[in-house]
A and B are shown apart, each in its own frame.
Chain A
């Protein structure tokens, strides 16, 4: 079976799904930023009373907020929600997420259970890790650094 077929046959639960930071629409930006930093996540997910995602506040939101001079202590996450919001059930084929990322530049995908409750977060990172796992023989063996490989290696 080819890679393309895998993307259609496998669903989002085959991707790495990270625990999301769920917040209320009126959560203050300062608290959201502190949570994003502590969890090393690029967004928080705004949920309603049913724990269904209704938006995200992302690193891009932070930049917009800073440029407009808004106060971190007087501004809620819903005021600067990222318009690039996508929520998909966990049973959705990976190919749908792939297309959304490629065509619309979506970075984060809120993953829900079949009743619409937030389960976690995936996106560009999750798909990149999926590709890496599929081709581990090529990807996992690579040397990485900030110098050309021949300069970085020791000895002759």
Chain B
């Protein structure tokens, strides 16, 4: 024990005493900072298995009029196939790769956001990192949806209350 204990009461200094809650300039800024990615429309989305052929994947893209497919196996995201992947890895050698599995031409390990991230994280993935298709995952890794510029714009318009 410390034999020099003072009988004077120790003054407790509350570290949060000077805390000032964040002030937002608008409802929209508050929404970006405090609402979760789950608030952004992220459906519908289209999935395909990694063993589907490139030809089938292109057909699915065209049939559904979408610009990306989430490649999912056993409920977990394996990658994403976007129009840009088709341009970069398929277009000039289509006869050679058309019957190959999607897993060989997809983007693996894509940037993702989680449902519980702030909405601004999705905006950053789109605008700062430059991804047009950002998968949205639940914390268990399962796929919840996909967001892109257009869905982000829908979210922003709905929160822009002036």
Interface residues of A (CB under 8 A from B): 2-4, 30, 33-34, 36-37, 42, 59-60, 62-64, 66-67, 72, 98, 101-102, 105, 107, 124-125, 127-129, 131-132, 135, 137-146, 148-149
Contact = CB atoms under 8 A, between A and B. Distances in A.
B105 interface: no
18 contacts: A30-B92, A42-B83, A42-B84, A42-B87, A62-B87, A63-B61, A66-B98, A102-B150, A129-B127, A132-B127, A135-B29, A138-B32, A138-B118, A141-B120, A142-B120, A144-B111, A144-B121, A145-B112
A127 B132 contact: no
A38 to B, nearest CB: 11
B126 A128 contact: yes
B121 A143 contact: yes
B162 A4 contact: yes
- Chain B interface size band reads 35 or more
Given A42-B83, A101-B153, A128-B152, 11 more contacts: A34-B92, A63-B62, A125-B127, A127-B153, A131-B127, A135-B120, A135-B123, A138-B120, A139-B32, A142-B128, A144-B128
Given A62-B86, A135-B32, A146 B109 contact: yes
Contacts of A36: 87
Among all A-B residue pairs, the 10 with the closest Cβ atoms: A132-B127, A59-B83, A124-B149, A142-B124, A138-B120, A128-B127, A138-B32, A142-B121, A128-B149, A138-B33
Interface of B: 26, 28-29, 32-33, 55, 58-59, 61-62, 67, 83-84, 86-88, 90-92, 94, 98, 109-114, 117-118, 120-121, 123-130, 132, 139, 148-150, 152-154, 156-157, 160, 162
Nearest to B33: A138
Contacts of A138: 29, 32-33, 118, 120, 123
A48 B120 CA distance: 41
A67 B54 CA distance: 11
